Amino acid sequence: MGFRTAVLSIAVLLMSGLTAEAAPSIPRCLACHPAHYRDRGGCVDCHRGNPGTERIAIAHDRLIAARFSYFTLGDSPVVAQGNTLAGTAGCRRCHTIGGKGTTLASDLDRLAGNARPEDLAASIQHPVAQMPDFHFGDADTAALVNLLLCESRDRLKARAEEPLIVHFENKQDTENIFVKACGGCHRALSAREGGLGEKDSGPNLSALLTPYYPLGKELPAKDRAWTPEDLEKWLKNPRKQRPQTRMPPVSIKEQDLTRLKEILSVPPSLLNPPVGSQNSP
């Protein structure tokens, strides 16, 4: 009798030990996959998915695929590569990434955390009309998506919910000075009038007069941001600055020039970090 009770209680102890600890925390992912990065977290911490089932379609719900998972590793060279690409492409002249940039288009820190990585990749490779087509290949696109996921994960936690700014496709105002004088060769996303211009033979000039426009490699702005004076000089005689340029001189009235500078700037309310926020923690 005493022996049987002892065996039973050992069995009960063993079973309760199992149910209390191991069973709920073993992800069913392991039925099909070997474990890896065990010391860095659970499968769903890095890949999302549903760990409570062996039905693959449900287990892979909202899965973050391997090529988009590098951002979970911390200090990943893939994220660094994404950041370099975002800088040379000038993503931040229209978007906020990692707390820096404008919100002429979506704040990607807020968006990316809830998006499917595949959708982010598709938005980059098949951009809407007012976003330039950078012709990124799959590896560069995945690097950019890793950057977006990394930054949004870090910032979503820190940020309170704010209303999203919604942009509507608007009919072009043919009296607008940018549409009239520049829109045949350039586009620009502006704070007040939305997307202006309709051709891409010249670069996309969104937020030209902010630090987020890609750094110039040639005059008049060389390795620094464009200033209103640079723009004025450039319009008068582009060839004086760049002998090989395909842009013709454009003559513009003083008051139109003021409007142009306004269109190619971004108001402080749409700049990140907000002006004066440097002191906040």
Q: Residue 67 phi/psi, 5° resolution? A: -70, -15
Residues 35-54 close enough to bind ligand HEC by CB under 6 A: 35-37, 40-41, 43-47, 49-51, 54
Is residue 242 involved in binding ligand HEC (CB under 6 A)? yes
Answer for which of 56, 139, 164, 219 binds ligand HEC (CB under 6 A) is 56
Q: How far is the CB of 181 from ligand HEC (least distance, A)?
A: 4
Structure-derived torsion over alpha carbons of residues 58, 62, 66, 67, reported in degrees to the nearest 10:
150
Is residue 131 involved in binding ligand HEC (CB under 6 A)? yes
Residues 154-213 close enough to bind ligand HEC by CB under 6 A: 167, 181-182, 184-186, 189, 201-206, 208
Is residue 100 involved in binding ligand HEC (CB under 6 A)? no
- Alpha-carbon distance of 31 to 44, in angstroms, equals 15
- Alpha-carbon distance of 141 to 118, in angstroms, equals 10
Is residue 266 involved in binding ligand HEC (CB under 6 A)? no
Query: Kindly report the CA angle at 89 between 85 and 95, in degrees rounded to 5?
Result: 100
Answer for which of 99, 113, 216, 228 binds ligand HEC (CB under 6 A) is 216
Q: Which of 92, 124, 95, 103 is nearest to 213 (CA)?
A: 92
Sign of CA dihedral 73, 78, 82, 83: positive
CB closer to ligand HEC out of 40 and 240: 40
With CB under 6 A as the contact rule, which of the stretches 8-16, 90-98, 153-161, 271-279 interacts with ligand HEC?
90-98
